[in-house]
Amino acid sequence: MTQRVLIAGAWRDADAPAGTFRAVDPATGEETGPAFPTSSVADVEACLAAGAAAAVALADVHPARVAAFLDDYAARVDADAPRLAALAARETGLPVEPRLLRVEIPRTTGQLRQAAEAARTWSFAHPIIDTRAGLRSCFGPLAKPVLVLGPGNFPFAFNAAAGGDFAAALAARNPVIAKAHPGHPATSQALAEHAAAAIGAAELPPATLQLVYDVPAAVGLALAGDARLGAIAFTGSRRGGLALKAAADAAGVAIYLEMSSINPVFLLPGAVAERGDAIAEELAASCTLGAGQFCTNPGLVALVDGPAAERFVAETARRFAAAPPGVLLGRGVRDGLEASLAELTGVGARVVAGGRRPDGPGFRFSPTLLATSGRTFLSRRAALQREAFGPASLLVLAADADELAAIAAALEGNLTSAIYSASDGRDEDLYRAVARALRARAGRLLDDKMPTGVAVSPAMAHGGPYPATAHPGATSVGIPAAIRRFVALHGYDHVRDAHLPPVLRDRNPGDVWRSIDGRWTKEDVS
Amino acid sequence: MTQRVLIAGAWRDADAPAGTFRAVDPATGEETGPAFPTSSVADVEACLAAGAAAAVALADVHPARVAAFLDDYAARVDADAPRLAALAARETGLPVEPRLLRVEIPRTTGQLRQAAEAARTWSFAHPIIDTRAGLRSCFGPLAKPVLVLGPGNFPFAFNAAAGGDFAAALAARNPVIAKAHPGHPATSQALAEHAAAAIGAAELPPATLQLVYDVPAAVGLALAGDARLGAIAFTGSRRGGLALKAAADAAGVAIYLEMSSINPVFLLPGAVAERGDAIAEELAASCTLGAGQFCTNPGLVALVDGPAAERFVAETARRFAAAPPGVLLGRGVRDGLEASLAELTGVGARVVAGGRRPDGPGFRFSPTLLATSGRTFLSRRAALQREAFGPASLLVLAADADELAAIAAALEGNLTSAIYSASDGRDEDLYRAVARALRARAGRLLDDKMPTGVAVSPAMAHGGPYPATAHPGATSVGIPAAIRRFVALHGYDHVRDAHLPPVLRDRNPGDVWRSIDGRWTKEDVS
């Protein structure tokens, strides 16, 4: 029996002339679970119509009710965590323990609760009051639905129906139209069932969340280019992201993309000399964790050639070679990884470890370490910055410190950049040169640390310059900053107190930080 | 002698195969001042190359030095105000007194000084510190130049080389490539001369400001679509803005547009009954001020038909008819106004007052009041929302309160929306219905007040939903919010204190508001 989509508050049969699909267990390569529909433009049209109406209604709801919904949703997911983790493990190949059950689900429900807290304390609203000018402003709902397209690599934390973008859009009281990743349809469905129950319990508009599992590419572009949308959040490939961006841009719809990143790591000579083996261990662990399927995987590691670097390369290669081939998310990830590695080796990278598809069922690939010279990298910089999504990293061996700095200055926009430097200060001049170049090219800079951990913190920057994302000032992780992608700036000019939203009235609605005449305070307007 | 462009810190001959142009005094229709060049792609290329290098250098400059530059620039403009005002008056037809000398120049230098203060106190940087997670973030420079294209109607306050966008881009330490409005080239040149002197005095990179006066349309689009730009700010027509947006979007360049707005004003029945004559006076004053050439001109006024409305229409018409035809900014504005009025009357609006071009020299037009029924408006809503830039307003007479609310819900995105309601509370139900619709469709809501005053306040929202602008969360007026269009989010993950920018170090660099572990404070990190 074909599964149903969630539209306008009801689980209903999809309009699916393009047919159905089933999830594939990447450990075996066999189909698993029931058939899910590929929705037509009629389903999408129904989502847009119901979403537009829900957006108007939701903008009028008190944030405390949305906060209650988010908390309730989190509680329902936590209570069902073992079943959900098992479902996701079958669809994604990611392990139940510790990844799904101990890390990703707690992170996901933690995000929902942080979003609830942001709604409750109005922290996303950034209220500014100028008593002398009679002006007040805050961020408010878009009053239009947000389309969220989730990636394959985080079935919970970035799920279109439960993840960070969902939580952020909801915290600002925007309904979500979720386009699930077709790699884990049953997981997405199970999450949406909990969301729908919580929506009902909170008496929010039924179309606060809608869910389709898959759409043909042309339908997806028509959806992204519909001016009834308030915004779009997409995490995935650069090719897919740029196609959606073109459609959204033409319609004047704000779009936030997280597309691709090779997350360069620079190892300065003093650090390699001081603790090269330990860094090799960190790199191998970071690059093979979750089979390297993170947007913050360290995909490029640059260092100055020489005896210490040679030892570092050998130590890293040994660890890569010893690591078992992980199960990848699916056939597409494996084929994409193989295509990227072929392109990289075709333009001057050589294989130092791994580089092969093991025998046996399912979709696996050996952790792969590539290497090239700084000179080759600089002469083929575009091709050698191709992302190889999975357990792979390219070492770039610079001839000297100047070439290392030139490599930093040749990079495209990335989510992160890390610099390892000596603890005794001998790398400081080179640090400054490299950091200056990397600062302009990455959202998050790290010292002496691999980039794969992304904490959900108000100070997190999970974004970066184009083409890593579509907006250098935004982040998709971290509350309240991530919420501020999905808001409109609401100004009030000599508006009577009773006509203002609670957060801007003279009386503080309760423990809310507001900037009043240039001073951040929780006091009332006097 | 053809005037010189400012590129890479030098006043030099333009590459101008497309020729030259002269400003036109709109009071006489005669050319005035010297010949200015229309720059080629070679000039633009030189600006981009020098701007890219200056951006890297400027990102490393301490904000206090940029603040000193902005203050110095403001002082130089103030000291030269009488000459500058006379120059602008000749090029724009705007009066020296009070407009240019007493209002617009002080506002412009005030903006420069507010931007200096924002740089000095890091208020634009929004520093967030999470000591437990080891994460810190702030906004920083784009490290790429910002292209500013100024409009014709504010030769100082929105001038590409001195106005709000310039001040905002500079406060975040981004160099500016200014494309002056060809309506006031000599004014722009004179401002840039002061800026260049102040840049030299502050020893900022010479290409901190570059200036061209005009480019062919194809060159402008090539410039807007160049990935070396960090961002673009444009104020002007919807047609021009959308063409630039398409070019910028394709290159992944963030673009902020202020395109068009009819700034609907809703007069609820109680307010019309209570103080209709006073509102008629306010409307006529607001719509004829500066010959109506404001982006916040009240271009649509909706009210419920009936005896009080009839009196209001007559009182407003009397005032419009009595107001002298103002001098418009130029031939383009007059021709555009006539074309818009012809379109509006062609789809059901009738002329109640004005509507004619007076005899005599120069570019003038009589203040024009149009009217139509709510039913006609709703049936031809797209055509009847065409902006008629200049001293013109369309009255929409609704059959009843429900139709009035339906008109509000039929509007496109606008910069502002105003509601006049009775002081005794009798309009409150209708207020809620109308305000709900308008809130989703405008950046700034006003109570009992015409929209033409735009105060430079931290709480100002001078933006709005597409197609009024290109981003509902942004504002082009108000500091520090306007600066935040031209920043990148800079995250730091376990970065050593000495490697952090001053604003994120443990020690507060001086009187800076920072959010430390969820609390806004000026304290050091303990």
Q: Which residue is closest to B143 within chain A, CA to CA?
A: A440
pTM > 0.90: yes or no: yes
DSSP A452: T
Q: Does A227 touch chain B (CB under 8 A)?
A: yes
Q: Would you place residue A497 in the very low, low, confident or very high pLDDT band (cuts 50, 70, 90)?
A: very high
Q: What percent of chain A is modeled with pLDDT above 70?
A: 100
- Is B492's CB within 8 Å of A444's CB? yes
Q: Which of A135, A143, A444 sits opposite B457 (nearest CB)?
A: A135
> In what order do the strands lie in the sheet containing A209-212?
A10-12, A5-7, A209-212, A176-179, A146-149, A231-235, A254-258
Q: Which of A455, A470, A495 sits opposite B445 (nearest CB)?
A: A495
Which of A446, A462, A489 best tests the B interface by mutation, with the highest count of B CBs <10 A?
A: A489
Q: Does A142 touch chain B (CB under 8 A)?
A: yes
- Is B59's CB within 8 Å of A440's CB? yes
- Rounded CA separation A78/A72 (Å): 10
Reduce the DSSP state of residue A351 to 3 states and report it. strand
C-alpha B198: how far from chain center: 24
Q: Which pLDDT score, from 0 to 100, does residue B480 have?
A: 97
Give residues 167 to 196 of B whose Cβ lies within 8 Å of A: none
- Rounded CA separation B262/B249 (Å): 26
Q: Which of B211, B123, B134 is nearest to B172 (CA)?
A: B123
- Rounded CA separation B138/B119 (Å): 13
Q: Does B522 touch chain A (CB under 8 A)?
A: no
DSSP B525: P
The predicted-structure confidence for A268-314, as pLDDT tens digits, reads as follows 999 999 999 999 999 999 999 999 999 999 999 999 999 999 999 99
C-alpha B161: how far from chain center: 14
C-alpha angle A86-A87-A89 in degrees, rounded to nearest 5: 65
Which of A255, A423, A490, A517 best tests the B interface by mutation, with the highest count of B CBs <10 A?
A: A490
Q: Would you place residue A125 in the very low, low, confident or very high pLDDT band (cuts 50, 70, 90)?
A: very high
Dihedral angle computed from the Cα positions of residues B142, B143, B144 and B148, in that order, rounded to the nearest 10 degrees: 50
Q: Which residue is closest to A249 within chain B, CA to CA?
A: B249
- Is B491's CB within 8 Å of A60's CB? no
Q: Does B42 touch chain A (CB under 8 A)?
A: no
Q: Is the pLDDT of residue A318 over 90?
A: yes
Q: Which pLDDT score, from 0 to 100, does residue A258 have?
A: 96
Q: Which of A249, A250, A446 sits opposite B494 (nearest CB)?
A: A446
Q: Does B263 touch chain A (CB under 8 A)?
A: no
- The residues, any chain, with a CB within 8 Å of residue A350's CB and separated by 6 or more, are A370, A371, A372
The predicted-structure confidence for A155-180, as pLDDT tens digits, reads as follows 999 999 999 999 999 999 999 999 99
Catalytic residue among B258, B282, B403, B412: B258
Catalytic residue list contains B258: yes
Q: Please tell me whether the interface predicted TM-score (ipTM) of this complex is above 0.90.
A: yes
- B37 strand-pairing partners: B20
Q: Which pLDDT score, from 0 to 100, does residue A338 have?
A: 98
Alpha helix (H) ranges present in B427-489?
A: 428-439
Residue A177 backbone phi and psi in degrees, to 5: -100, 110
Q: Which pLDDT score, from 0 to 100, does residue A135 have?
A: 98
- In which residue ranges of chain B is pLDDT below 50? none
Q: How far is CA A356 from CA A192, A325, A367, A436, in A?
A: 38, 9, 8, 37
Residue numbers in B near A473 (CB within 8 A): 139, 254, 484-485, 487-489
Written as six digits, the tokens of A439 are: 């600062």
- The residues, any chain, with a CB within 8 Å of residue A411's CB and separated by 6 or more, are A264, A381, A385, A417, A437, A438, A441
Catalytic residue among A47, A138, A287, A295: A295
Q: Which of A230, A446, A462 sits opposite B495 (nearest CB)?
A: A446
Residue numbers in A near B465 (CB within 8 A): 488
Which of A61, A434, A457, A505 best tests the B interface by mutation, with the highest count of B CBs <10 A?
A: A457
What secondary structure does DSSP assign to B323-349, as a single string? SPPEEPS-HHHHHHHHHHHHHHHHTT-
Compute the nearest-CA separation of B471 from chain A (Å).
7
Catalytic residue list contains A193: no
Q: Which pLDDT score, from 0 to 100, does residue B260 have?
A: 87
End-to-end CA separation in angstroms for chain B: 63
- Is A457's CB within 8 Å of B143's CB? no
Biggest CA-to-CA distance, chain A:
73
Q: Which residue has the tokens 């170049």?
A: A437
- Rounded CA separation B127/B140 (Å): 10
Residue numbers in B near A487 (CB within 8 A): 472-473
Give residues 95 to 134 of A whose Cβ lies within 8 Å of B: 128-130, 133
- Is A59's CB within 8 Å of B439's CB? yes
Q: Which of B207, B171, B58 is nearest to B480 (CA)?
A: B171
Compute the nearest-CA separation of A237 from chain B (Å).
16
C-alpha B258: how far from chain center: 6
Which of A238, A441, A492, A493 best tests the B interface by mutation, with the highest count of B CBs <10 A?
A: A493
Average of pLDDT values for A63-67? 97
Biggest CA-to-CA distance, chain B:
73
Q: Does B435 touch chain A (CB under 8 A)?
A: yes
Q: Which pLDDT score, from 0 to 100, does residue A92 have?
A: 98
Q: Cβ(B156)–Cβ(B125) under 8 Å?
A: no
Q: Is the pLDDT of residue A260 over 90?
A: no
> In what order do the strands lie in the sheet containing A414-420?
A350-353, A368-373, A392-398, A300-304, A265-267, A414-420, A442-447, B488-493, B135-140, B128-130, B514-516, B519-521
DSSP B104: I
Give residues 500 to 519 of B whose Cβ lies within 8 Å of A: 513, 515, 518
Amino acid at A34: P
Q: Cβ(B429)–Cβ(B376) under 8 Å?
A: no
